[in-house]
Amino acid sequence: MNYLLLFLAVALGYGVALFLKTKKIKQISLYLAFSGAFLLAITVFELLPEVFETPSKSIGIFIMVGILLQIFLEFFSKGAEHGHVHLHADTKDFPWLLFISLSIHALLEGFPISEENNLLIGVIVHKIPVAIILSFFFIKAGYSRIITVLFLFLFALMTPIGSFISENSVYIDTYHTEITAVVIGVFLHVSTTILFESSSNHKFDLSKMIAVVVAILLAYFL
């Protein structure tokens, strides 16, 4: 069931993109700010306490590795995880670098999802705008519908696969805390970048501020 929901989040994003046809970008950036704040709040309220149950400095190293990993991945994805794509689509071939970097990110974020936290909701809320923006990119860049749907289909499988592996592999489970710490780093970087980039030129935007505060409150009271 959880796997299906994670998959459907991407399908929904594609549907919304087809429906909106690149207009209403303003509303999407509002929802993006909400999703970033929500993901950050789930990370701070639930994932951090989980890995620091027994405090140790080495957990901090894994968090830093996650931050660095995400910075590295964004050299190839050009920021698709946090809501914009700046690829120059000269060829209309399958964009492998974008695909691989996004897939590593999406696979990882499936690992810490469990019954004990609300990360499933956090990842779904975060995935929908990412899927919308990816779809916009593919449509605007003139990719064929087959490549677009194939890309989104494979991308949608990654988080459920990550979640499935972590639930079913005893080997992976021995490193549960370390992997969760890496994903915390990934989430910290992605969500704070969303928040940073969603305020254009540091101008105060009341509606965005409200979206962020509501997201934090919701995550707290879940």
CB of 190 to Zn ion, least distance (A): 6
**CB-nearest residue to Zn ion:** 79
Q: Total binding residues for Zn ion by CB under 5 A? A: 3
Q: Is 160 in the site for Zn ion (CB under 5 A)?
A: no
CB 170, min distance to Zn ion, A = 26
Which range of residues in 49-57, 102-110, 131-139, 140-148 is near Zn ion by CB under 5 A?
A: 102-110
Nearer to Zn ion, 110 or 145 (CB): 110
Q: CA of 169: how far to CAs of 142, 153, 192, in Å?
A: 40, 24, 31
Residue 162 near Zn ion by CB under 5 A: no
Q: Which range touches Zn ion (CB under 5 A), out of 7-15, 109-117, 138-146, 198-206?
A: 109-117
Q: Tell me how far apart the alpha carbons of residues 72 and 186 are, in angstroms, rounded to a whole number.
A: 11
> Which sign, positive or negative, has the C-alpha torsion 169, 172, 177, 180?
negative
Question: Toward Zn ion, which CB reaches closer, 79 or 95?
Answer: 79
Q: Which residue stretch of 13-21, 28-36, 106-114, 210-218 sits at the interface with Zn ion (rule: CB under 5 A)?
A: 106-114
Among 36, 66, 79, 110, contact with Zn ion (rule: CB under 5 A): 79
How many angstroms separate the Cα of 156 from the Cα of each of 153, 160, 214? 5, 8, 27
Query: At closest approach, how far in Å is the CB of 70 from Zn ion?
Result: 9
Please report, as ranges, the residues that interact with Zn ion according to CB under 5 A: 79, 81, 109
